[in-house]
Amino acid sequence: MAGAERASRHALGVTGIRFPLPMDGQMFVFDVPRLLLAIALAACVVAVLPSAADAARNRSECANANLQPAAGNLADVRAAVLCLHNRERNARGLPRLKQSAKLRRAAQGHSGDMVAERFFAHESPSGSDMADRILGTGYADGQGWSLGENIAWGTGHLATAAEIQRAWMESPGHRANILRREFREIGIGIAIGAPVDAGGLEGATYTADFGVRR
């Protein structure tokens, strides 16, 4: 078990919020620096948050949170991610996130592309970014909007929803997206495989796209 844990790998990425100003339709961009870090180094603690024991309890209460992602169970893993996000939000009196089919389409496409094209970033090799992908699904449909995105990949036990959630919540930028009050919808995409050479280890790549339409 210890050897397997040492072999497991995990990395994260986060993007900020983009939204058009209602006055003139121009784009204001707020970018949180993208983070790429090993799970062993992700140890941020904020005093106003519930204790680590409370957070661990929240994660453990979601069905399938420790399920190893596989081709036949991705719906269960997605449901676990949504449950974990909403437990964190509920604990802070924030509105629950609802699933959006269009956000999920954008998220699933991005996870699949990262694995297939071997890159780990919010911007694809073709130059399209989070807003391009999400708005391309018709998500905003002429309305004002705010968007956010978290990405991550892991191998071994670090590929489970519980471990991805733990890493996101220990990273200020990722946590900010999960706990942003204005967000109302989420789309979760999970692809089997890693976006880089994982040394033959089995893994999974996650994208969570957040949004609100006004």
How far apart, in whole angstroms, are the C-alpha atoms of residue 174 and residue 102?
Answer: 21
pLDDT in tens, 10-42: 556 555 443 332 222 222 222 232 222 222 222
* Beta carbons within 8 Å of 60's beta carbon, 6+ residues apart: 162
What is the Cα–Cα distance from 100 to 109, expressed in whole angstroms?
Answer: 14
Residues of the chain with pLDDT under 70: 1-60
The DSSP call for residue 121 is: S
pLDDT digits (tens, 9 = 90+) for 50-75: 444 555 554 458 999 999 999 999 99
Backbone angles phi, psi at 81, to 5 degrees: -60, -45
Give the per-residue pLDDT at 49: 35
Q: pTM of the entire structure?
A: 0.77
Alpha-carbon separation of residue 78 from 2, 31, 66, 103, 138 (angstroms) = 27, 26, 12, 13, 22
Q: What is the DSSP string of 1-59?
A: -HHHHHH--EEEEEEEEEEE-TTT-PEEEE-PPP----GGG-----TTSPPHHHHHHHH
Q: What is the pLDDT of residue 196?
A: 95
